[in-house]
Structure 1
Amino acid sequence: MTLSRRLFLASLAAAAAAAATPALADDVPAPDLSQEPFPVKDDERKVEYKYRRKQMAYNTSEAPGTIVVDPKARFLYFVLGNGEAIRYGASVGKQGRTWSGQATIGRMEKWPTWTPTPEHIAEFPKLVKYVPGGMPGGPENPMGARALYLYQGDVDTIYRIHGTYDPSMIGRKKTAGCVSLLNVDIIDLYNRVQLGTKVVVLEY
């Protein structure tokens, strides 16, 4: 076998392997982070591959623009239509595992404040200082870079979709709130939705 034939066969094998390899999660470009008031890293490479942001096939009867949260699988889908969606890996807290149903985004905040719950204060007494006005938005705030607040009519469900600085949380059943995405992912999602966007939370 000549060297050129070996190279030809090797190139065919490489092409076949590339075709069998799923597209990288960066097929959904990261949003512009340069104008954020606090540093935000595009650190999805620190997240397990299957939980990285990607556009993929997704069969649903929900209309384009709908958010579907699958807390058990720890994924959040933004429905694009034509059988596709953008899938984000998520971290799901206790509240995110105990509530399901339909709601709409009734409030959207950039770098939101956070008011600790009695449970948080019982575990971390020093947080009591943030009860009057809440913890200001920033790198120390567990709500991250963005927050989407879910309402049913005029009633706040207390269910939030928000950001996190900690990539190790993605894909796990652990978060300070309900459902959290990487900060870069919640910024991407925030840029795609609006007040009134329908959100469907599947049963855990």
Structure 2
Amino acid sequence: MTIEYSLSRRGFLGVLAAGTLAGCTTSMPGGRSAPMPARITRPIGPPSDAELQVMYGPVEDGGFLIPAIPYQQIDPRFYRQRVADRTGEAPGTVVVDTPSRFLYVVEPGGTAMRYGVGIGREGFAWQGDGVIHWRQPWPRWKPPNEMVARQPSLAKYSIENGGMEPGLKNPLGARALYIFQNGEDTLYRLHGNPEWQSIGKAVSSGCVRLMNQDVIDLYQRVPAKAKIVVWQ
């Protein structure tokens, strides 16, 4: 059974001042480039249980063993799946529909790969359009000084102290994609996260989080210097 979702464009607001941002600063890598998405012939629709077992099973990556995700405990609409594209954006564009908690990578031929995401809670959400300028597998996490000031226990992971080493407990997870606007780092990221329970919720400090298995898949699909649009 085909599932389609209608989306509407939201107005864009300017990027928030850097002082209001929180929690997603990391090292500044180059990362490898991904190709433009190819035209897809696979039918759209939700994945089967057999596909879900593979998609969200354990993954060995970068020297780490990512545990399986109990996908049965997640709302099925947040499973990674191909849908009819309703974004109106060009192929290769990343679209974050904040109210619906979805992220799309637009594909040629009228489809998009959709992922469930967790977003920033009220007061820590970014919106607008930009470019995914940097990409990093297994990034370090360096909470900005504003976040450390609010949570002094994070001082050991501060920028001055070199941040948290990559790993399964790192809040940025297995991949990070860095959002720039007008040539400047917004300090917002698309990134993995070990807390699969947060998908579909507004709990993070501003960044868009995905399950680690999903962010690895996303990383392979997003073209170099991809346009990103975040709807609020």
Q: Name the TM tier (shorter chain).
A: 0.7 to 0.9
Q: Runs of at least 4 residues of structure 1 off by over 4 A?
A: 19-22, 25-29
What is the aligned-residue identity percentage?
40
With structure 1 as the length reference, what TM-score do the two structures score? 0.79
SS at 2:92 equivalent: coil
CA distance in 2, matches of 1:95, 1:196: 28
Aligned to 1:12: none
With structure 2 as the length reference, what TM-score do the two structures score? 0.71
1:95/1:105 CA distance change after superposition, 3 Å? farther
1:51/1:141 CA distance change after superposition, 3 Å? same
Aligned to 2:201: 172
State which of 86, 99, 115 in structure 2 corresponds to 1:72: 99
Root-mean-square deviation (CA, aligned residues, Å) is: 2.6
Does 2:210 align with 1:181?
yes
Contact between 1:112 and 1:147, CA under 8 Å: does it hold in 2? yes
What is the identity, as a one-letter code, of the residue corresponding to 1:110?
P
Contact between 2:129 and 2:230, CA under 8 Å: does it hold in 1? yes
Q: Deviation at 1:130?
A: 1.6
Runs of 5+ unmatched residues, structure 2:
4-44
Of the two, which has the highest radius of gyration? 1
CA distance in 2, matches of 1:66, 1:20: 23
State which of 39, 47, 56 in structure 1 corresponds to 2:65: 39
Q: Deviation at 1:34?
A: 3.0
Matched ranges for 1:1-204 at <5 A: 23-24=46-47, 30=55, 33-43=59-69, 44-94=71-121, 98-131=125-158, 132=160, 133-202=162-231, 204=232
Higher relative contact order (CA 8 A, sep 6+): 2
1:97/1:52 CA distance change after superposition, 3 Å? farther
Q: Deviation at 1:140?
A: 1.7
Question: Number of residues paired by the alignment?
Answer: 185
CA distance in 2, matches of 1:134, 1:114: 5
SS at 1:34 equivalent: strand
